[in-house]
Structure 1
Amino acid sequence: MTINRRRFLHLAASSVVAPALIGRAAGQERTWRSGTPFTLGVAAGCPRPTGFVLWTRLAPEPFVSESGLLGGISGPTIDVGYEIARDDAFQDIAVRGITSADRDFAYSVHLEVDGLEPGRPYWYRFMSGEAVSRTGRAMTAPAAGADLDRLRFGTVSCSHYELGYFSPYRHLADEHPDLVMYLGDYIYEYIEKRHPTVRAHSDGVEATTLPTYRNRYAQYHTDPDLQRLRAEAPGLITWDDHEVENDYGDQWSANFIAPEQFLLRRAAAYRAFYEHMPLSPRLSRPNGPSMRIYDRFDFGKLARVSMLDGRQYRSRGACYGPPRKGRGHLETAASCPELFDENRSILGTEQEGWLYLGFAQSPARWNILGQDVMMARLRTNEGDLRDAHWTDAWDGYPSNRARVLQHISDAKVSNPVVFSGDIHSYWTNDLKLDFDKPSSPVVATEFVGTSVTATPPPEEQMRRYARDNPHIRFFEPKFRGYVSVDLTRERMQTRYRTVSDVTDPQATVSTLKSYVVESGKAGAIEG
């Protein structure tokens, strides 16, 4: 039976169509020698009241050659069929149709869906030829102004493939969250040489080019635990540094590569990031080394989530230059007066203004920031480095931090809570207008999640720092895991979930610590 596109769309609108039939209509009777092109799974993201973004990538041979050849696939575009259903058995189809995968973006699909019912789950799958992808679960956000009772989400960051199995992803999937916030360091670009490895980056090279970044994402996405989490819960996504290069900022490489050269690397990294994430093609399609990922998401009147980009737009690192021996990125007011330049920003002028506008217009009881690096002040106490700032985090941009916290206070933003990653350890922090004054009011709470697998910071050094910063309520570096959050109108409960051993693919999970933030009361309490 031959079906042209017009006939296919008529059938799709009027009857139940077998997935294989949709796949053949989409794939022109295509046969995949490997059995399936959907080796990297499926994902959903960017939930809105009437839709979301669905992702997959056609990759019958997941890894790219050094020349950039995409194995087992050819042609400028390939049609891909899809179905979106109101039930997981696909008996009640809401939408079906054909979209396309473009060679220029490694045959990835970014399907921006609209016209659905607000505030409910949907199930989806893709088809090409006889091949059908695994089923994924997406959700639409509640309608604007809806009285949502509850939102359950998790946060994850810092998943280094070489250093362990992704069991935290599996255990978070077991909790069936409404959504997952990915807070950066989704991949690691380098090859581990300092610590024992559990499994290897397959190509054995640092990712610096489009083929090597593509291969890094492909390898991570062959992991069954990561595939499962992406299929079972929609994602809100930002990046940190390892998606490009350790400790980079804007056009400035931490290895002091000339900006015009570094921006070529950044363009390749951003393109590969887009190719593997459920991001909006309208908002986030990369343009060379530029790609917008900051965005906000409303969940009725219960929560507004603002996902920030703390890398692309930041001012050059304070006193940028080859690090002094023994100092790394640590600088004091005496060694680096530039630190306190009021014009310096970690967010950039446009994103900072966008954030303040979002605060002003927020209808939500809870206002949540998802972002990459720790916001709280971390005072050092090491000899001539006393009162130094770690310039790669918000501590390197104290004027920007002060502006954000002052704005939260002045605008009386309702229940602001910050979720951060990067530092491979758990932290519970009071965010204050003046971190040096114990009497200064708490304006927001920050929860920092540990890594999925990446190694912890120096424990004793960090414990000394934590003790000398009274706004730090809790610090623990020993464990790997994720953060699990249960949000209602009256309270937010945040649990630090830890796995028994990331070198064990069957690792178990437990709760290390639990905190509650009560609506209308800044600061976290154990509970």
Structure 2
Amino acid sequence: GGRIWRNITTEAKSKVAETLDEYRGNYRYNLMDENLRRFNAEVPQIWQWDDHEVTNNWSPSKQLDDRYKVKDIQLLSSRARQAYLEYAPLRLQEADKGGRIYRKIPYGPMLDVFVLDMRSYRDGNDANLADKPGPTTAFIGREQLDWLKRELDASTAQWKVIAADMPIGLGVPDGEVSPGVPRWEAIANGNDGPALGRELEIAELLAYLRAQKIRDCVWLTADVHYCAAHHYQPDLAVFQDFDPFWEFVAGPLNAGSFGPNVLDKTFGPELVFQKAPPAQNTSPFAGYQFFGEVNIDGQTGEMSVALRDLDGVSVFERKLQPAAEISRIV
């Protein structure tokens, strides 16, 4: 009962991407698939900047292996960014000289989507334990953080969805800084204590949302290769200056399945649901591929979130009631 398939390769996919044309070749290779072309033609998409646009767990401190002749990670990320922007269904924001990827997408009175860039402004992956804000704690960066606070405060939409590249409370390991000292790829640092390192930016944002009484913020994220629903609660947290909120994790669309990852207790995430494979790097054929579906009732303001598997079967559903009074347009 084995599967038979015809493996198709191209010159650009015969090695790790280093040149601009090789990065472009990654997108051209995917477009050889008829199903993806049909998906692109039929489904509107919002793209975010991912580490795999450059190389796995890319950050300024990335040490490239022997497959790479080009060792300059900044040069590789520049080439990768250009290829990404050439193929992404994305209009660059013109707030800075080079254009930026983070942006707000309004969907009328019920929804604003805030698309973050958790790649371009981060410092290098490290132990993530600095106790004061500084260059090493940058993750979304000062300008993007200030923009997000300002735009969330100005938003009149019922629901404010924060589309984040990476989850808040899940530890995403990236090897070791030194023997016994883990290096971290995302926000969490496995410390389970006060906000440290990249967590400081999130603590600042969450405290601001509470102080400004900005309600109905929901985080949608991916990166880890399984699905989960997390409810962040101050009474379970070490850092408690925030209002409760939900984070939904869904992925991958077509890749090996991993997880589950360990939750960091700093922001008090409750694991409400998760579905992960029985073994690491499980083939997509095993069915542990996930996506999320979100609907908003225009009359009641209720948000319905479903996590679905490869066959579209719902594995988890949750209905969220708006905390803020529903705005009516006559």
**Pairwise TM-score range, normalised by the shorter structure:** 0.7 to 0.9
Structure 2 counterparts to residues 366-377 of structure 1, below 5 A = 366-376=159-169
2:118 and 2:32 mapped to 1: Cα distance?
28
Structure 2 counterparts to residues 365-444 of structure 1, below 5 A = 365-376=158-169, 378=171, 391-396=184-189, 397-433=198-234, 436-437=237-238, 442-444=243-245
User: Which has the larger displacement, 347-356 or 205-214?
Assistant: 205-214
Greater Rg by CA:
1
2:44 and 2:27 mapped to 1: Cα distance?
18
- Pick closer, same or farther for the CA change 1:402–1:198 going to 2, 3 Å: farther
- Pick closer, same or farther for the CA change 1:306–1:342 going to 2, 3 Å: same
Is 1:236 the counterpart of 2:32? The answer is: no
- Pick closer, same or farther for the CA change 1:267–1:467 going to 2, 3 Å: closer
1:515 to 307, 318, 322: 318
Aligned to 1:317: 125
CA apart distance, 1:199: 4.2
2:207 and 2:30 mapped to 1: Cα distance?
40
2:275 and 2:154 mapped to 1: Cα distance?
36
Q: 2:206 is matched by which residue type in structure 1?
A: L
Q: 1:313 is matched by which residue type in structure 2?
A: Y
CA apart distance, 1:365: 0.7
- Pick closer, same or farther for the CA change 1:294–1:280 going to 2, 3 Å: same
Is the contact between residue 167 and residue 186 of structure 2 (CA under 8 Å) also seen in structure 1?
yes
Q: 1:255 is matched by which residue type in structure 2?
A: L
- Pick closer, same or farther for the CA change 1:283–1:227 going to 2, 3 Å: farther
2:7 and 2:269 mapped to 1: Cα distance?
39
Is 1:214 the counterpart of 2:24? The answer is: yes
Is the contact between residue 313 and residue 348 of structure 1 (CA under 8 Å) also seen in structure 2?
yes
1:224 to 18, 21, 34: 34
TM-score (norm 2): 0.76
> Which secondary structure state, in structure 1, belongs to the residue aligned with residue 72 of structure 2?
helix
Aligned to 1:482: 291
Structure 2 counterparts to residues 105-124 of structure 1, below 5 A = none
Of structures 1 and 2, the one with the larger relative CO (CA 8 A, separation 6+) is 1
User: What residue ranges of structure 2 are gaps of 5+ in the alignment?
Assistant: 174-180, 190-197, 278-287, 325-330
Is the contact between residue 364 and residue 414 of structure 1 (CA under 8 Å) also seen in structure 2?
no
Q: 1:208 is matched by which residue type in structure 2?
A: E
Aligned to 1:253: 62
- Pick closer, same or farther for the CA change 1:364–1:456 going to 2, 3 Å: same
From the two aligned structures, give the one with the greater strand fraction: 1
Is the contact between residue 376 and residue 430 of structure 1 (CA under 8 Å) also seen in structure 2?
no
Q: 1:275 is matched by which residue type in structure 2?
A: E
CA apart distance, 1:225: 2.2
CA-to-aligned-CA distance 1:173-192 (integer Å, 9 cap, x gap): xxxxxxxxxxxxxxxxxxxx
2:143 and 2:221 mapped to 1: Cα distance?
21
Structure 2 counterparts to residues 94-109 of structure 1, below 5 A = none
Aligned to 2:133: 342
CA apart distance, 1:234: 2.2
2:204 and 2:235 mapped to 1: Cα distance?
11
1:481 and 1:282 mapped to 2: Cα distance?
30
2:49 and 2:236 mapped to 1: Cα distance?
27
2:236 and 2:149 mapped to 1: Cα distance?
22
User: What residue ranges of structure 1 are gaps of 5+ in the alignment?
Assistant: 1-196, 320-335, 381-387, 500-507, 522-527
- Pick closer, same or farther for the CA change 1:434–1:422 going to 2, 3 Å: farther
Is the contact between residue 210 and residue 242 of structure 2 (CA under 8 Å) also seen in structure 1?
no
**TM-align CA RMSD:** 3.3
Is the contact between residue 405 and residue 443 of structure 1 (CA under 8 Å) also seen in structure 2?
no
Taking only the aligned residue pairs, the percentage that are identical comes to 21
CA apart distance, 1:318: 2.5
CA-to-aligned-CA distance 1:329-348 (integer Å, 9 cap, x gap): xxxxxxx643x332322101
Is 1:364 the counterpart of 2:165? The answer is: no
Equivalent pairs counted in the alignment come to: 286
- Pick closer, same or farther for the CA change 1:258–1:437 going to 2, 3 Å: farther
Is the contact between residue 366 and residue 415 of structure 1 (CA under 8 Å) also seen in structure 2?
yes
TM-score (norm 1): 0.49
